[in-house]
C-alpha cells in the first residue's frame, strides 16, 4: 500500500494578535505584540499581571448564547477557529463523505476556568455539592473535538491529544498519519487553550515560568534576548483542514501547502526542565526531517518553540546547531511567541499556520523584542530579530516542546502539484 | 401571574434561550422547549438556588412542564 499525500486546504485562527488568519498574519509580519494587562480576572495580587489575551471578541457573534454557555472558552475558541477553517476549505456539503471526516484537536489543559468556577462555587456556598450538570462535559479536554464533530457532522476519528505545549502538534501529526494511511479523507486539526485564569496564571507563576515584566508587557516576551525572564501566557487557537491530496484535487480545492513530515521524541529527563543539551529537541527535528525524506539542508525556516524562558531557549538553539551544522547559519529562524505569547496546547496550531503563511508569502515573521544579545547564543544564527525578512521558503519546520519532555515537530512544503 | 411564576419563567427563558411567549404552563421542557435531560437537571438546580430550597430527586422527576414547576414551588417555597 502506498501512502497518501496530505495537504492543507483551510485555516482559521483566533489569536491575541488577530481574530482571523488574515489579521493574525498581517500582525505577525508587522511585529505586533499581543501582550497587555490581564482583564479576565483581578490579577492585582499576582506576580504576573499581564498576558496575551484574545481581544475584542464577542462570542455571541459566533455561537448562540445558549450553546456557548455549555462550552468552556477553550472549546469556544476551537469552534470559532474551526468555523473559519471550514468556510475557507469550502467543502460541498452534499458530496463530502462525513464518515471519512474526522476531528483531532490538541489542548494542554482543557476547561480550567470551568473547573475553577465550579469548585469555587462549592467552597464559597457552604460546601453544598451543587455542581452544574454541564460541569464535566464542559471541563473535560476532549469536549472541544466532540463539539466540533457534532457541529459539522463529522463521524470519523475523533479525539484530543494531550502533551502539554506540544498538544496541537501531536494532533496534526495524528491527523497527518491517519490520512496518509487512508483511514480518513479530511480532518479538522489544530488546537486551542484558555488558561489565562486564576489557577493558570497562579500555577505558572509558582513554577517561575512566567515573565514578571509588569512595567512593560509588550516587550516581555523576548526569546533569545539576554534579559528574557520567562514566557508570556497566551490564549486562543488555530484550526487547519488536513486533506488527502487526490480528494482535494478532485474537488478543486485551494491548496495552501503540503504536510510532508512529522517527528516525535521525548527528553526522558525532567518533568518541567528541558534536557540541557537539547537532546530531545535534536531527536525530534531529525525524526521529522527523515520522516519527510529530506536532508537537514532542505529546511529553509524553523518556527522555534522559543518561549522566552532563560533555560528553554538555549537548549533548542544548541539542538539546531548540532543537528543542522553549518546550515543552521543559512536558514531563517524565528519565535513568533515573541508576539503571540505562549498558547500552550494551542501553540503548535497557530505556529503551523504561521509556517504555512510564511511559505505562501515567502516571508519569515520576526522574533520581536530583541534588545541585547545573549552571549550564550551564537550571533551567526539568523533569528530574524525585530523585522520580518523576505526569503525563499520551500520547507518550513515547526517545533513544539511540552512539560513532561514531549517534543513534536512538523514540516510543511510549498505545494507544487 | 404570581411572583413565583414570573421568576420561573425568567429562569427558563435565560437557561433555555426561548421566547417568553413559548413558556406557557403546558409547555414541556424537553418536548416543547428544546431542553435535553442535562438542561432539565440544570433548571431544577436553578429553581433550588433561586428559591433557596432542596427538591428531592423523586419530586424533581415529576417536574416536566412549566406548570408543574410553578405548582411545586408555590406549594413548597416558604
**B interface test, pick of A60, A64, A65, A66 with most B CB neighbours within 10 Å:** A66
Say whether B38 and A130 touch across the interface (CB within 8 A): no
- Domain presence at residue A360: yes
Task: List pLDDT tens digits, range B16-67.
Answer: 999 999 999 999 999 999 999 999 999 999 999 999 999 999 999 999 999 9
Angle CA(A72)–CA(A305)–CA(A167) in degrees, nearest 5? Answer: 35
Whether residue A231 is contained in a domain is answered as: yes
Which strand ranges, in their side-by-side order, compose the sheet holding A406-413? Answer: A158-161, A101-106, A186-193, A236-244, A6-14, A257-266, A406-413, A395-402, A301-303, A332-334
Q: How many helices (H) and strands (E) does chain A have?
A: 13, 14
Q: Assess B57–A contact: CB distance below 8 Å, yes or no.
A: no
C-alpha angle A84-A89-A94 in degrees, rounded to nearest 5: 110
The pLDDT value given to residue A27? 98
User: In this structure, is residue A2 part of a structural domain?
Assistant: no
Sign of the torsion formed by the C-alpha atoms of A22, A28, A33 and A35: positive
Q: Around Cβ A246, how many Cβ atoms within 10 Å? A: 12
DSSP string, A375-392: TTS-TTS---BSS-EE--
pLDDT > 80? residue B1: no
Which residue has cell 529537541? Answer: A281
Q: What is the largest CA-CA distance in chain B?
A: 30
Task: Sort out which chain A residues have CB atoms less than 8 A from B49's CB and list them.
Answer: 130
Contact (Cβ atoms closer than 8 angstroms) between residue A322 and residue A17: no
In a domain, A363, yes or no: yes
Q: How much is the ipTM here?
A: 0.83
The total number of structural domains that make up chain A: 1
- Would you call B38 and A134 a contact, using CB atoms and an 8 Å cutoff? yes
Rounded Cα distance, A325 and A59, in Å: 47
Question: Is A305 one of the catalytic residues?
Answer: yes
User: What DSSP character marks residue A64?
Assistant: -
Q: What pLDDT sits at residue A417? A: 80
* Residue A104: φ, ψ to 5°: -125, 110
Task: Quickly tell me which residue has 500500500 as its cell.
Answer: A1
Amino acid A241: pLDDT? 98
User: How near does any CA of chain A get to the CA of B54, in Å?
Assistant: 10
CB contact under 8 A, B17 and A66: yes
8 Å CB contact of A133 and B48: no
Give a yes or no: residue A279 inside a domain. Answer: yes
CA distance A112 to A195: 6
Q: Is A107 left (phi over 0), alpha (psi -120 to 50) or beta?
A: beta
Pairing of strands A236-244, A395-402: unpaired
CA atoms of A319 and A210, how far apart (whole Å): 23
* pLDDT tens series, chain A, 417 aa: 789 999 999 999 999 999 999 999 999 999 999 999 999 999 999 999 999 999 999 999 999 988 999 999 999 999 999 999 999 999 998 999 999 999 999 999 999 999 999 999 999 988 988 899 999 999 999 999 999 999 999 999 999 999 999 999 999 999 999 999 999 999 999 999 999 999 999 999 999 999 999 999 999 999 999 999 999 999 999 999 999 999 999 999 999 999 999 999 999 999 988 998 899 999 999 999 999 999 999 999 999 999 999 999 999 999 999 999 999 999 999 999 999 999 999 999 999 999 999 999 999 999 999 999 999 999 999 999 999 999 999 999 999 999 999 999 999 999 998
d(CA A414, CA A300): 11
3-state secondary structure of A135: helix
Q: Which three three-digit cell numbers place residue B25?
A: 404552563
| Contact residues on chain B for A64, CB-CB shorter than 8 A | 17
- A35, three cell numbers: 501582550
Write the CB contacts of A92 (distance below 8 Å, at least 6 apart in sequence): A251
Residue A1 lies in a domain: no
Task: State which residue of chain A sits closest to B39, comparing Cα positions.
Answer: A133
Is the Cβ pair A132, B45 closer than 8 Å?
yes
Joined together, the cell numbers standing for residue A175 give: 491527523
d(CA A205, CA A87): 38
Which grid coordinates are listed for B59? 419530586
Separation in Å, CA A300 to CA A26, A328, A367: 21, 9, 16
Does B46 touch chain A if contact means CB atoms closer than 8 Å? Answer: no
Q: CB–CB of A37/A222 below 8 Å?
A: no
A150/B contact by beta carbon, under 8 A = no
Give the nearest chain B residue to A125 (CA atoms).
B49
B50 in contact with chain A, both atoms CB, cutoff 8 A: no
Structural domain for A101, as ranges: 7-417
Distance between start and end Cα atoms, chain A: 21
Spatial CA neighbour of A219 closest among A368, A51, A407: A368
How far is CA A414 from its chain centroid?
20
**Collapsed DSSP state (helix, strand, coil) of residue A104:** strand
Give the nearest chain A residue to B40 (CA atoms): A133
A34 close contact with B: CB closer than 8 A: no
Asked if B22 reaches chain A (Cβ–Cβ under 8 Å), the answer is no
In a domain, residue A137? The reply is yes
A·B CB contacts under 8 A: 17
Q: Give the Å distances, CA to CA, from B34 to A71, B8, B31, B50.
A: 18, 17, 6, 22
Q: Rounded to whole angstroms, what are the CA distances from A139 to A102, A198, B51, B58?
A: 21, 16, 27, 28
CATH assignment of the domain containing A162: 3.40.47.10
Q: Return phi, psi of residue A18, to 5°.
A: 160, 135
Given this model, what pLDDT does residue A347 score?
Answer: 98
Give the gap in angstroms from C-alpha B7 to the nearest C-alpha of chain A.
19
Q: How far apart are CA B25 and CA B56, in angstroms?
A: 22
Report the C-alpha gap between A134 and A148 in whole angstroms. Answer: 17
Determine whether the interchain pair A130/B41 forms a contact, defined as Cβ–Cβ distance below 8 Å. no
Contact criterion met (CB below 8 Å) for A164 and A402: yes
Strands A158-161, A101-106: pairing kind: parallel
Amino acid at each position: 500500500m502506498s501512502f497518501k499525500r496530505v495537504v492543507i486546504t483551510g485555516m482559521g485562527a483566533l489569536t491575541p494578535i488577530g481574530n482571523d488568519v488574515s489579521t493574525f498574519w498581517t500582525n505577525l509580519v508587522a511585529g505586533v505584540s499581543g501582550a497587555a494587562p490581564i482583564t479576565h480576572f483581578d490579577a492585582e495580587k499576582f506576580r504576573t499581571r499581564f498576558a496575551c489575551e484574545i481581544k475584542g471578541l464577542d462570542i455571541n457573534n459566533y455561537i448562540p448564547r445558549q450553546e456557548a454557555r455549555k462550552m468552556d472558552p477553550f472549546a469556544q475558541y476551537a469552534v470559532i477557529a474551526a468555523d473559519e477553517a471550514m468556510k475557507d476549505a469550502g467543502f460541498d456539503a452534499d458530496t463530502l463523505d462525513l464518515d471519512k471526516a474526522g476531528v483531532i484537536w490538541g489542548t494542554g489543559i482543557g476547561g480550567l476556568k470551568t473547573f475553577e468556577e465550579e469548585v469555587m462555587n462549592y467552597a464559597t456556598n457552604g460546601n453544598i455539592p451543587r455542581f452544574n450538570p454541564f460541569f464535566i462535559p464542559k471541563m473535560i479536554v476532549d469536549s472541544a473535538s466532540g463539539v466540533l464533530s457534532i457541529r459539522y457532522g463529522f463521524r470519523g476519528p475523533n479525539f484530543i491529544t494531550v502533551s502539554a505545549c506540544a498538544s496541537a502538534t501531536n494532533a496534526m501529526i495524528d491527523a497527518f498519519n491517519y490520512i496518509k494511511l487512508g483511514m480518513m479523507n479530511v480532518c479538522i486539526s489544530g488546537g486551542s487553550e484558555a488558561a489565562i485564569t486564576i489557577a493558570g496564571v497562579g500555577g505558572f507563576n509558582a513554577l517561575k515560568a512566567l515573565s514578571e515584566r509588569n512595567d512593560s508587557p509588550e516587550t516581555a516576551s523576548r526569546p533569545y534576548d539576554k534579559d528574557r525572564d520567562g514566557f508570556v501566557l497566551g490564549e486562543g487557537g488555530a484550526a487547519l483542514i488536513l486533506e488527502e491530496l487526490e480528494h482535494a484535487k478532485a474537488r478543486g480545492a485551494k491548496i495552501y501547502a503540503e504536510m510532508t513530515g512529522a517527528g516525535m521524541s521525548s527528553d526522558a529527563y525532567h518533568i518541567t526542565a528541558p534536557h540541557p543539551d537539547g537532546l530531545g529537541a535534536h531527536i525530534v527535528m531529525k525524526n521529522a526531517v527523515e520522516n519527510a525524506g529530506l536532508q537537514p539542508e532542505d529546511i529553509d525556516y524553523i518556527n522555534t518553540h522559543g518561549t522566552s524562558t532563560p533555560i528553554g531557549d538555549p537548549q533548542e538553539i544548541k539542538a539546531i546547531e548540532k543537528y543542522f551544522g553549518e546550515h543552521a547559519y543559512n536558514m531563517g529562524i524565528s519565535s513568533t511567541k515573541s508576539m503571540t505569547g505562549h498558547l500552550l496546547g494551542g501553540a503548535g496550531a497557530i505556529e503551523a499556520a504561521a509556517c504555512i503563511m510564511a511559505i505562501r508569502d515567502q516571508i519569515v515573521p520576526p522574533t520581536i523584542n530583541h534588545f541585547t544579545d545573549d552571549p550564550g547564543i551564537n550571533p551567526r544564527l539568523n533569528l530574524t530579530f525585530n523585522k520580518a525578512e523576505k526569503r525563499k521558503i520551500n520547507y518550513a519546520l515547526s517545533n513544539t516542546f511540552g512539560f513532561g519532555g514531549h517534543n513534536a515537530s512538523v514540516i510543511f512544503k510549498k505545494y507544487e502539484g | 401571574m404570581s411572583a413565583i411564576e414570573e421568576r420561573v419563567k425568567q429562569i427558563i427563558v435565560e437557561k433555555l434561550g426561548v421566547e417568553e411567549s413559548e413558556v406557557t404552563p403546558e409547555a414541556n421542557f424537553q418536548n416543547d422547549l428544546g431542553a435535553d435531560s442535562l438542561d432539565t437537571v440544570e433548571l431544577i438546580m436553578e429553581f433550588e438556588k433561586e428559591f433557596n430550597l432542596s427538591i428531592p430527586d423523586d419530586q424533581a422527576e415529576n417536574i416536566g412542564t412549566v406548570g408543574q414547576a410553578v405548582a411545586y414551588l408555590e406549594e413548597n417555597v416558604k
